[in-house]
Chain A
Amino acid sequence: MTVLGKRGRSGSQAPQRVRSRTNEPRRRGRSARRSRWIPYLFLALPVAYLAVFQIVPLLQELRLSFTRTSLLNPGNNTWVGLDNFLAIVADPEFIRTLTTTLIYVVVCVVGAIGIGMGTALLLNADFRGRGVARALVTVPWAAPGVAVALIATWMTNAQYGIINRALEAVGLGVPNGQILASSTFALPAVLITTVWQLFPFPTIVLLAALQSVPKESTEAAMIDGAGRWWTFRAATWPVIKPTVALLAVLMAIWSIRRFELIWLMTKGGPLGSTRTIVIDLYSRAFESNDLGMAAAIGMVGVVISLLLVTGSLLLNRRAEKEDTL
């Protein structure tokens, strides 16, 4: 059957062949239905993976946190309601753990992003050997956490460590050379090691972001007489700000979860001076065999991470609203 179709440019109507009424709409309907299915099908597997390996364990942890459960007999548990949460809130050691975690997260985020930004700005400039420099910068990130922890432990060794020898040479030696065994110096040592390992990631991400800054904006700013700082502030920062915000959230969550570096260097000691939430959780679960309490600490960590992500989302939305106004 032939019907007249749309008018062409010349005004004439081109005949269009119409398929049989019985087949055409059905085929169009079927492919429309299939194309609607496909995104969900692709999503199904990752959702299933997340559900099995994240959501189900999280729900189990939530249940555990309301019980008294021993690692040696996990099947036999007693419902204690909020007792575990009340106990940890009332425990001054846990308050100290929270404070240590906060310090650890803030310093790691600010340190890694700050150094990463500076390094990215340097690597964004044009100089000989830039390619090699960019590759070398990734070495701390690529090194396994276990290797970094062991090397750092030896570098801070009381007798052989080069760190204390260098500090002694400039009159800043640590008493007895005890860095990791000192409750004053252990946390700074762990922080420096962590920041050293973390900074390449923000460097690479910020380098990519810097390369998306339009050259015309920075050139225009410089032509108008703006110095480097004002050029950065006016032309570069607005473009890379969303990237920095995202990095801050990611680094904060990773820092809350960091385990191997701290455990291998100090095990959360001495005297809890480097004990973060994750270290406390592990220690309660596998040293004190108290799964219920460990689960309660884990839930506190989850809440902190959720607050971070929510806060970041709200700030983002607010910034977007301000941009559109």
Chain B
Amino acid sequence: MRIRARSAKFKVIAFTAVATMALAGCEGSSSKAGSGSGGAAGPVTLTFAASTFGDPGRGPGLEKWIGKYNASQKEVVVKPAVVPYPTFGTTILTQMGAGEGPDLVRFDMPEFAAAAQAGLIEPLNTAIDAAKYNLNAAPDKFMFVGDKRYGVIFEASNYVLYYNTDLVSTPPTTFDEFLATAKAATGNGVYGAAFRQTAPEQNGMWQDIWNYVYGFGGSYSDGKNLTLNSPKVVEGLSAYKKVYDAGVIPKGADAATFRAMFNQGKVAMEIDNGGFVAAVRGANAGLPFSVAPIPFPVRSQGAILAPIVVNAASKHKEAAISFLQWMLKPESQKDLQLVLGASSVASVTERSQGELAKSPFLPVVDKLTDTSLPQVVLGYEAKTPDIRKIVIEQVLRALAGEVDMQTAMDAAQKKAVSTVG
């Protein structure tokens, strides 16, 4: 009886082991790269991931624009996929690193550089003949890593000063005027200005402080060495802290909150990217606002350069490339620009009379393209996320009053050099 009991136990253990291996084996046989499907019977389905599909102002317009592509042919169906901006890079890079992920991705520059260097993006030198398209040269040059093109510009959105024309009659033209105007506008539930200034919004805060750093003539690197604690960088960040300390911003409010406040007429001025125009119009079409160049000493500001790329692990690269080629057609580019609002697209396009009548400030935004820089540290593009974290930590320390800005940036320089070299 004992022998039989042992034999029974062995059988159960063996059964459990087999079940375990079978279940574990199921993981290995799951489908790889991209959600693309298709076969002889139907069209190929591609997934296109972008945080902007979730924008209340532009998301529906972008989906309709993609719908035009789907309606124009029968071989490929592109499905938009929303991934929230704060976690976009982490989510998509994790998927792509595992050989999965969407077929098409609208990246931000730091993640684009990291993905390109890791070989996660399909090179497009042969697929995209740049000579055929009238591409905007200034932002397009950032689509290369070495001599390989890894993406085309989906959106180039320059940072400008948005102001409520009821609260600010004349836009400031210097930093001192900007601060004075913000102070004058603050009161009765209204704030003079707004920007991101909390740790959970690290990525967005990096974009916001970029304008101060470069607007005061600073730079995080000279192309070869990091210069985080250079005098001009410290001057720019000190100006940022001055605005923070002036009591003119809603402290602790995240971007979604203070943008909503701007739309409700509770924030007088806000430095934001060109894509914000569509968001404002979508939230409050009657809001009286205009834009002006950022009133800092140097005409240099950040730009959100968003490349669209093809996942190197996609099973349907040809289909994805055909979407890019459609996207670069002049009519598609014009339609895309209409949706994106004040942002530029890959090609040089002319604004229509209707657009200019609705938004007469558009030429102001477009003129800034040549002086706008993507928010990556030159020479350290793939390491920008690490540098960003170090810089933001130290800037927050200075904002909290623990140290002065020079000490903070000295610490940032030291840590960044030891982390990234």
Residues of A within 8 A of B (CB): 29, 32-33, 36-37, 40-41, 43-44, 47-48, 51-52, 56, 70-75, 153-154, 157-161, 175-178, 180-183, 264-267, 269-271, 286-289
**Contact in complex: B200, A37 (CB < 8 Å):** no
**Contact in complex: A182, B250 (CB < 8 Å):** no
Knowing A40-B12, A51-B20 touch, does A177 contact B251 (C-beta < 8 A)? yes
Q: Give the shortest distance, in Å, between A260 (CB) and chain B (any CB).
A: 12
Asked whether any CB of chain A lies closer than 8 Å to the CB of B252, the reply is yes
Q: Give the shortest distance, in Å, between B206 (CB) and chain A (any CB).
A: 13
Asked whether any CB of chain A lies closer than 8 Å to the CB of B71, the reply is no
Q: Give the shortest distance, in Å, between A280 (CB) and chain B (any CB).
A: 13
**Contact in complex: A270, B393 (CB < 8 Å):** yes
**Contact in complex: A181, B97 (CB < 8 Å):** no
- Measured CA separation A316–B94 after assembly (Å): 43
Q: Which residues of B contact A158 (CB under 8 A)?
A: 251-252
Knowing A40-B12, A72-B96, A74-B98 touch, does A269 contact B90 (C-beta < 8 A)? no
Q: Give the shortest distance, in Å, between A156 (CB) and chain B (any CB).
A: 8
Chain B residues touching A, majority SS = helix
**Contact in complex: B199, A47 (CB < 8 Å):** no
Residues of B within 8 A of A (CB): 1, 4-5, 8-9, 12-13, 15-16, 19-20, 23-24, 90, 93-94, 96-99, 114-115, 118-120, 198-200, 202, 250-252, 385-386, 389, 393, 396-397, 399-402
Q: Which one of A51, A72, A178 has the greatest number of beta carbons of chain B within 10 Å? A: A72
- Measured CA separation A37–B8 after assembly (Å): 6
Q: Give the shortest distance, in Å, between A210 (CB) and chain B (any CB).
A: 40
- Measured CA separation A322–B16 after assembly (Å): 39
In the A-B complex, list the 10 residue pairs whose CB atoms are closest, starting with the nearest.
Answer: A72-B118, A157-B252, A40-B12, A158-B251, A51-B20, A181-B400, A178-B400, A48-B19, A159-B251, A52-B23
Q: Which residues of A contact B200 (CB under 8 A)?
A: 153, 264-267
Residue of B nearest to A75 (CB): B99
Q: Give the shortest distance, in Å, between A199 (CB) and chain B (any CB).
A: 25
Q: Which residues of B contact A182 (CB under 8 A)?
A: 400, 402
Q: Which residues of A contact B24 (CB under 8 A)?
A: 51-52, 56
User: What's the A-B contact tally at a CB cutoff of 8 Å?
Assistant: 112
Residue of B nearest to A157 (CB): B252
Residue of B nearest to A93 (CB): B415
- Measured CA separation A154–B199 after assembly (Å): 14
**Contact in complex: B97, A72 (CB < 8 Å):** yes
Q: Give the shortest distance, in Å, between B241 (CB) and chain A (any CB).
A: 11
29 contacts between A and B (CB under 8 A): A29-B4, A36-B5, A36-B9, A40-B13, A44-B16, A51-B20, A52-B20, A56-B20, A72-B93, A72-B97, A73-B97, A73-B118, A74-B98, A158-B251, A159-B252, A160-B252, A176-B401, A181-B198, A181-B400, A182-B402, A183-B397, A183-B402, A267-B202, A269-B393, A286-B90, A286-B94, A287-B386, A289-B93, A289-B97
- Measured CA separation A3–B394 after assembly (Å): 94
Knowing A158-B251, A264-B200 touch, does A181 contact B1 (C-beta < 8 A)? no
**Contact in complex: A48, B94 (CB < 8 Å):** no
Contacting A270 at CB < 8 Å: which of B15, B96, B396? B396
**Contact in complex: B15, A44 (CB < 8 Å):** yes
Contacting B199 at CB < 8 Å: which of A48, A159, A267? A267
Contacting A181 at CB < 8 Å: which of B23, B386, B399? B399
**Contact in complex: B97, A269 (CB < 8 Å):** no
**Contact in complex: B115, A287 (CB < 8 Å):** no
Contacting B19 at CB < 8 Å: which of A44, A160, A270? A44
**Contact in complex: A178, B401 (CB < 8 Å):** yes
- Measured CA separation A265–B118 after assembly (Å): 32
- Measured CA separation A52–B250 after assembly (Å): 49
